[in-house]
Amino acid sequence: MGKWTKKVEEKEYKISEENAEAAVREFLDYFETGLPSDTTEETEQSADMFFSRLVDAYRRGQLENKMDENLGFCVIQNIKGRESVTYREFKTKDRSILEKYSDTQAESRAIALMGKLSGYGEDFIKSFSAPDFRVCMALAALYFLV
């Protein structure tokens, strides 16, 4: 752990690290995805950062997976001081929202996708506090693997 790493007391966590990792794995397994075998070291390091952020979010109770009859495999984000947001299952048709953005506009693409999956739109995602936005963007990185 680095000098500037945020120290978190174990009591702040609602679930174990193993269960949080299992929740991330559940997402990846459901969509039959993961990092490609030819992933560069730089990409793998970036993915590790997002995966670590997601594991911490699941441990804190900020994220949870749920299977819904109508929405399919959902991820619920519990937002500080607001109602929770449900991101419905990603469908192939959802890729169309990304067409208006280039690959260099990663954050805009992520905001557009999460706005669509939530049903609330981009402005809603942009209204998140910085910590909630970081969790949302880490989750978007998982959806981009699908």
Q: Read off the pLDDT of residues 44-86 as tens digits, 9 standing for 90 and up.
A: 887 788 899 999 999 999 999 999 999 999 999 999 888 999 9
What pLDDT band is residue 7 in, cutting at 50, 70 and 90?
low
How far, rounded to the nearest angstrom, does the alpha carbon of residue 137 sit from its chain's CA centroid? 6
CA distance 51 to 21: 9
Query: Model-level pTM?
Result: 0.86
